[in-house]
Amino acid sequence: MPGDPNPTLAISSGNLSAPGKSLTLPVSVTDSAAGLQSVLMDINYDTDVFDQGNGDLALGALVAELAGNEAWSLTPNVDDAAGKVTVLLHSVEPLPGGIGDLLEVTYNVRSDAPSGLTQLDLADAETYLNGGALTITTLDGDVFIDATAPTVAAVKHNDGQLRPNQLTSLAFTLSEDVEASIEVTDLSMHNDTTDQYVDLSALAEGDFAYDHLTHIARWDLSRISFPPAYYTYTLNSASVTDLAGNELDGDGNGVGGDNYSDTLMVALGGDVNLDGSVNLADLVIMGHPNHCGQGGMTWIEGDLNFDSNVNMADLIILGDPSNWDKSLI
Ligand SMILES: [Ca+2]
Ligand SMILES: [Ca+2]
Ligand SMILES: [Ca+2]
Ligand SMILES: [Ca+2]
């Protein structure tokens, strides 16, 4: 109420963090700090979630810059076994007024912290303003701990079309939202046949799309040339993170921080059975009466030019010197 000298102290709610991270949250005066001269406060926290020490406390912006008789001192006393931050803030001269941050606390999230909401309890009964001369109102804070790292749930080549001799796109379905972190440069590719990295520098922002509802990240690779070879593609863990900052768990073992990698083959033009070689085995499949001369066919039945028929045009591709008797290693 107007003119009420009794301040409200608050820690914000709706905060997000992750195991191994830290976050700094102020204790703020949200109405008026006029006349405030000393604050003895307790903040209770869950010791399964946070590891705290005296060095994690600092004066807030409202009082940190004041000098002379207006300067504020900070006397910390953190009991990390009990989960209690006790701090005395004091000045010779009372504050003239204003609102803002009295104290900043850096909360260190334990590496084994579980997922869930945890309270930062600003304890009314143990918090005294001006030695109890002012009545306090407190607003507790909370932090949601997200202990689950994002994983790759599925990968689609060429938007699911069977085009074994081409690589025109790769689409990754992530287990949760990574929109804030993922970008076009997070994919790398290595040609395992020539043992060289594929130059993806031609890819532009527009070649990458992320759908935040389905969590699908798609790279349009049609600008890049992929000669027949085995390729390893990799999503970079450190730059694919969820909103809480958990790095991609590439191998899905529950621990984040490792890249996602898999291999694919861009097939030789006549490799009907997709074994990496073009030889009699492919010709036999193509020439089978159920395939040769038939419509409604796909690559694995011998339709190498994607017109759904197996005929002379496909045989010519298979017999081309760039394909016939060739092998990928
Ligand atoms: Ca997560
Ligand atoms: Ca992992
Ligand atoms: Ca083959
Ligand atoms: Ca055909």
Angle at which helices 280-287 and 312-319 cross, to 10°: 180
pLDDT at 55: 98
- CATH level 3 topology of 152-266: Immunoglobulin-like (2.60.40)
How far does residue 272's CA lie from ligand 4's centre (Å)?
12
pLDDT at 159: 97
How far does residue 175's CA lie from ligand 2's centre (Å)?
14
pLDDT at 51: 98
Q: Residue 32's pLDDT band (boundaries 50, 70, 90)?
A: confident
Looking at the CA of 246, name the nearest ligand.
Answer: 1
How far does residue 248's CA lie from ligand 1's centre (Å)?
9
User: HSE-up of 114 (CA within 13 Å, CB side)?
Assistant: 6
CATH architecture of the domain with range 8-145: Sandwich (2.60)
How far does residue 113's CA lie from ligand 1's centre (Å)?
13
Instruction: Give yes or no on whether 8-145 and 270-329 have one common fold.
Output: no
Residues 224 and 208: their CA atoms lie apart, in Å, by 13
Helical (H) or strand (E) element with 313: helix 312-319
Looking at the CA of 293, name the nearest ligand.
Answer: 4
**Average of pLDDT values for 198-220?**
97
How far does residue 106's CA lie from ligand 1's centre (Å)?
21
Averaged confidence pLDDT in the chain: 95
Residues 171 and 154: their CA atoms lie apart, in Å, by 8
Q: pLDDT digit string (tens) for 70-123?
A: 999 999 999 999 999 999 999 999 998 889 999 999 999 999 999 999 999 999
* pTM, two decimal places: 0.84
Looking at the CA of 150, name the nearest ligand.
Answer: 1
How far does residue 278's CA lie from ligand 3's centre (Å)?
4
CB 280 within 8 A of CB 57: no
How far does residue 151's CA lie from ligand 1's centre (Å)?
9
Ligand 3 ion: Cβ-proximal residues, 5 Å cutoff = 271, 273, 275, 277, 282
C-beta neighbour count of 101 within 10 angstroms: 17
Domain 270-329 sits in CATH at: 1.10.1330.10
Q: pLDDT digit string (tens) for 245-292?
A: 999 999 999 999 999 999 999 999 999 999 999 999 999 999 999 999
pLDDT at 329: 80
Could you tell me the end-to-end alpha-carbon distance of the chain, in angstroms, rounded to an integer? Answer: 79
Residues 164 and 323: their CA atoms lie apart, in Å, by 14
**Average of pLDDT values for 55-65?**
96
pLDDT at 210: 98
CA quadruple 183, 186, 192, 196: dihedral, nearest 10? 90
Q: pLDDT digit string (tens) for 153-187?
A: 999 999 999 999 999 999 999 999 999 999 999 99
How far does residue 298's CA lie from ligand 4's centre (Å)?
8
Decide if pLDDT at 2 tops 60.
Answer: no
**Average of pLDDT values for 36-45?**
95
How far does residue 259's CA lie from ligand 2's centre (Å)?
8
pLDDT at 4: 61
Q: pLDDT digit string (tens) for 3-19?
A: 566 789 999 999 999 99
How far does residue 160's CA lie from ligand 2's centre (Å)?
27
How far does residue 168's CA lie from ligand 3's centre (Å)?
22
Looking at the CA of 177, name the nearest ligand.
Answer: 1
Decide if pLDDT at 1 tops 50.
Answer: no
pLDDT at 5: 67
CA quadruple 239, 242, 248, 254: dihedral, nearest 10? 160
- Residue ranges per domain, the chain? 8-145, 152-266, 270-329
Decide if pLDDT at 240 tops 60.
Answer: yes
Residues 54 and 77: their CA atoms lie apart, in Å, by 6
